[in-house]
Amino acid sequence: MRIGLDIGGTKTDAVVLDAAGGVLERVRVRTGTGPAEVLDSAERAVREVIALCGTQTDDYASIGVGIPGVVDRETGRVHHAVNLGVDDLGLGERLRERVGVPVQVENDVKAAALGAYHLLRLHGSAAFLNLGTGLAAGIVADGRLWRGARGGAGEIGHIPLDPRGALCSCGQHGCLETIASGSAVARLWPSKAALPAIELFDAADAGDRRAQDVRHALAAGVASAVRILVLTVDVETVVVGGGLSNLGERLLAPVTEVLQGWGRDSPFLASLRLPERVRMLAPDLSAAAVGAALVGAAEAVA
Amino acid sequence: MRIGLDIGGTKTDAVVLDAAGGVLERVRVRTGTGPAEVLDSAERAVREVIALCGTQTDDYASIGVGIPGVVDRETGRVHHAVNLGVDDLGLGERLRERVGVPVQVENDVKAAALGAYHLLRLHGSAAFLNLGTGLAAGIVADGRLWRGARGGAGEIGHIPLDPRGALCSCGQHGCLETIASGSAVARLWPSKAALPAIELFDAADAGDRRAQDVRHALAAGVASAVRILVLTVDVETVVVGGGLSNLGERLLAPVTEVLQGWGRDSPFLASLRLPERVRMLAPDLSAAAVGAALVGAAEAVA
């Protein structure tokens, strides 16, 4: 059995996988802010999920952790996990000391890519398109994470698509992330609602023209991300996940419409059958935690 | 020993590689137009290079062929090789019948990617950016071609970068190919010169403002292709090849300048060290023919 953790800005998910990769048990705890609290929540999630299974730490060969931020996979150190209030944390080593099980740390989007691939029983190659505060992708080729030469594969959120576009946090203009992400919605549809994207889509459905424009821009941005992933890597499937993917069919429909429109203008693009390649990740699958468990297991074996 | 062919619109290159991958001999013949003539030139190139080595067809385990167009690798059929006047040709089978050696056919850009990787003794992952009439890339990961789910990996020439850009042959607007390719130069710098790109760069050097603008746009397009390849796949190296790469340092310098300018605006982009990752392929390395030989050998073994 192996454990997977997904440490997010507000919650930490933990899952236990059996030898066949099935999810035996899962728990969710609140994530604290700052290094000590993040470590505490991670340990608590591990102990709770182990207890739920009626097991002990000795029964586990590995823990895999998915976490936002820059991860040094060799050492398990995490840098610049801004949402967690963590600038630098030796997460792998500290968690291993506390629970006595080898720990492997991975970027959360990459972990989610592997988890989605596994949970959706995909084959060949796939990309996981994470629409969170930012936009990034994880790429899985023949069942294995494609990290790239320096760990930067999938950073497509910083490909500029419009030289006249908005200034991105990265310093460039018109990046994909300024069009299709939670932060893009926040900029284009300022709102105090708990779920601004839902409010935006409700307003669009109710006939608000500005909301419809923002929704269309968001859908076109997601479609552009799909196009980039297929034209560059030719992944068979693009799984859309992250906060905005909770919109489900409400987001998929306008994205599909944009892709179909492009296909009408371009026989070449039509031949790629992009609409068929896009899938929304169902909420609450704990893809990142499941993927983290798989990363942990793979690295422990290697 | 193995043979590699690169069938281009005007010439067909043939190389013989020894068991260690070294180039023993090479020849170049004129390519005919139309299926029968293309096949004839291929056979002639094979027989000439074999004779130059003082060998016979029996001494060879495989022939690999790189050719522009859509290739069915299973059957060795080639479709839509427009530059060659070939709409449909069972190239693999026909050439095998003629010379009695197993033949494997691959798209020429993909073959060149593998050849460049081998000739430049690269490691890890690399992309070959072909600036021919069109723009496309070949991707090599851990020494193997990444073809993608449906053979379409590297078709980055059809990623639109400017919604207000020129109409592309694919039906979209502002594709990378409309900015950085031989056809883009032909559109932006109409000329009757034998080498319009050389004329363009000479005019720019002589102070022609419009030529300087076109040169800058071309360099920015190449830089954009590099950015897309690194942000999506995170290849360690981007090797620039194809006709425009014969400009060598004259093209590399403005590309490097654009990349450095982006790095000054964006610390994130600067951290990717893009200028260091770009290399120009020296002319006359027969990268596609060498890569084709490697493809032929790999498939024959598999």
ipTM: 0.94
**Homologous superfamily of the A2-112+285-301 domain (CATH):** ATPase, nucleotide binding domain (3.30.420.40)
Give the model's pLDDT for residue A300: 54
Q: What's the Cα-to-Cα distance from A206 to each of A108, A184, A200, A201, A258, rounded to whole Å?
A: 36, 21, 10, 8, 20
Q: How confident is the model at residue B252 (pLDDT cuts 50, 70, 90)?
A: very high
Dihedral of CA B198/B204/B205/B207: which sign? positive
Chain B residues close to A154, C-beta within 8 Å: 232, 234
Give the model's pLDDT for residue B301: 44
**Is 50 exceeded by the pLDDT of residue A301?**
no
A140 Cβ neighbours under 8 A, 6+ residues apart: A113, A114, A117, A122, A125, A126, A127, A128, A146
A267 contacts B153? CB cut-off 8 A: no
Please name the residue of chain B whose CA is at the shortest distance from the CA of residue A172.
B266
Tell me if A5 sits within 8 A of A65, measured CB to CB.
yes
**Is 50 exceeded by the pLDDT of residue A84?**
yes
Nearest one of A164, A137, A175, A141 to B227, comparing CA atoms? A175
Rounded CA-CA distance A105/A93 in Å is 10
> Which of A148, A231, A235 has the CB atom closest to B155's CB atom?
A231
Give the model's pLDDT for residue B302: 38
- Chain A residues interacting with chain B (CB cutoff of 8 angstroms): 124-125, 137, 139, 141, 146-156, 158-163, 170-172, 227-236, 262, 265-269, 272
- Tokens matching residue A97: 């000391």
Task: Classify the phi-psi angles of B214: left when phi > 0, otherwise alpha if psi is within -120 to 50, otherwise beta.
Answer: alpha
Count of pairs with CB atoms under 8 A, one residue in A, one in B: 122
A159 contacts B148? CB cut-off 8 A: no
Q: How confident is the model at residue B241 (pLDDT cuts 50, 70, 90)?
A: very high
> Which of A163, A236, A269 has the CB atom closest to B170's CB atom?
A269
Give the model's pLDDT for residue B161: 93
Point out the least confidently predicted range of A89-93, B231-235, B296-300. B296-300
3 state SS of A65: strand
Residue B33: what are its φ and ψ, rounded to 5°? Answer: -110, 135
A178 Cβ neighbours under 8 A, 6+ residues apart: A165, A166, A167, A168, A184, A187
Residue A115: what are its φ and ψ, rounded to 5°? Answer: -65, -45
Rounded CA-CA distance B31/B41 in Å is 6
Q: What is the 8-class DSSP label of residue B82? A: G
Q: How confident is the model at residue B298 (pLDDT cuts 50, 70, 90)?
A: confident
Per residue in A108-138, pLDDT tens?
999 999 999 999 999 999 999 999 999 999 9
Give the model's pLDDT for residue A112: 97
Q: What percent of chain A has pLDDT over 70?
A: 99
A141 contacts B234? CB cut-off 8 A: no
Pairing of strands A86-89, A103-107: unpaired
B156 contacts A231? CB cut-off 8 A: yes
Q: How confident is the model at residue A302 (pLDDT cuts 50, 70, 90)?
A: very low
CATH class of this structure's domain A121-280:
alpha beta
Per residue in A157-211, pLDDT tens?
999 998 899 999 999 999 999 999 999 999 999 999 989 999 999 999 999 999 9
Per residue in B171-217, pLDDT tens?
999 999 999 999 999 999 999 998 999 999 999 999 999 999 999 99
Q: How confident is the model at residue A298 (pLDDT cuts 50, 70, 90)?
A: confident
Chain A closest-CA separation from residue B225 CA (Å): 10
HSE-CB of B210 using CA atoms within 13 angstroms: 5
Instruction: Tell me the average pLDDT across A234-253.
Output: 97
**Is 70 exceeded by the pLDDT of residue B33?**
yes
CATH class of this structure's domain B2-107+285-301:
alpha beta
Give the model's pLDDT for residue B300: 54
Instruction: Tell me the average pLDDT across A141-160.
Output: 95
Domain map (residue ranges) of chain A = 2-112+285-301, 121-280
Chain A closest-CA separation from residue B247 CA (Å): 25
Chain B closest-CA separation from residue A127 CA (Å): 11
**Is 70 exceeded by the pLDDT of residue B130?**
yes
Q: How confident is the model at residue A299 (pLDDT cuts 50, 70, 90)?
A: low
Same-fold call for A2-112+285-301 versus A121-280: yes
